[in-house]
Amino acid sequence: MKNALIPGLIIGFLSGVWLFIMRLMHIPFNSPQVSPVEFVSVLIPIVGLYYGVKSYCYGEMQGKMNFLEGLIHSFKILIVAGIFVVFLGIVYINWIASTEKVSWYDFSGRIFAALLIGVLASLAVSLLVMTKGREAESNETND
């Protein structure tokens, strides 16, 4: 779990910073409409997961990782990031945006969307970074 801590904290921190960037840009957090600028935040978990899983694959796994190993490590990273983002969300809702009438309902909708994006990103990243399945394919074609 220690190798998922740093990428998870980075993703969580950048996602938390994104909350404050949205506030500075006067994008209403409690609006049911999603602003087009909010779609930029999708890049945070995708890029963070890619580099986190890739460093795990080539650092700890010596360049040999299958899809399931990558998926499990992605979920570890997402758990750390999710815990950190929820903590920052609590701070944001209770103390920073308390005058904007932002509710937990609004926040939970955004978090659920982030969870869905994280799961899809972890599937894609695990497919991109895995090496064990590709080695078996290349050995079969060389025979």
Q: Which of 54, 104, 94, 102 is closest to 74 using CA atoms?
A: 54
Question: Does residue 101 lie within any of the structural domains?
Answer: yes
Q: What is the mean pLDDT of residues 45-62?
A: 94
Q: What is the mean pLDDT of residues 46-71?
A: 94
Which range has highest mean pLDDT (28-37, 88-97, 108-117, 130-139)?
108-117
Q: Which of 3, 2, 4 is closest to 79 using CA atoms?
A: 4
Confidence of residue 92 (pLDDT cuts 50, 70, 90): confident
- Encoded amino acid at 5, one letter: L
For the whole model, what pTM was predicted?
0.84
What pLDDT shows up at residue 98?
67
Q: What is the mean pLDDT of residues 57-81?
A: 94
Overall number of domains in the chain = 1
Question: Does residue 142 lie within any of the structural domains?
Answer: no
Confidence of residue 143 (pLDDT cuts 50, 70, 90): low
Question: Does residue 21 lie within any of the structural domains?
Answer: no
Q: Which of 42, 53, 49, 36 is closest to 18 using CA atoms?
A: 42
The residue with greater pLDDT, 35 or 76, is 76
**84-104 core/surface letters (b: 16 or more CB in 10 A; e: else):** bbeebbeebbeeebeeeebee
Q: For the segment 97-129, what is each residue's pLDDT rounded down to a tens digit? A: 766 676 677 777 778 888 899 999 999 999 999
Q: State the average pLDDT for the chain.
A: 85
Helices 43-59 and 104-129: angle between axes, nearest 10 degrees = 40
Look up the domain containing 76 and give its range: 42-133
Question: Does residue 111 lie within any of the structural domains?
Answer: yes
Question: Does residue 107 lie within any of the structural domains?
Answer: yes
Question: Does residue 125 lie within any of the structural domains?
Answer: yes
- Encoded amino acid at 96, one letter: I
Q: Which of 56, 80, 83 is closest to 69 using CA atoms?
A: 56
DSSP state of 34: P
The residue with greater pLDDT, 142 or 16, is 16
Cα dist from 103 to 16, 23, 33, whole Å = 17, 15, 15
Question: Does residue 49 lie within any of the structural domains?
Answer: yes
Q: What is the mean pLDDT of residues 11-22?
A: 88
Question: Does residue 95 lie within any of the structural domains?
Answer: yes
Confidence of residue 5 (pLDDT cuts 50, 70, 90): very high
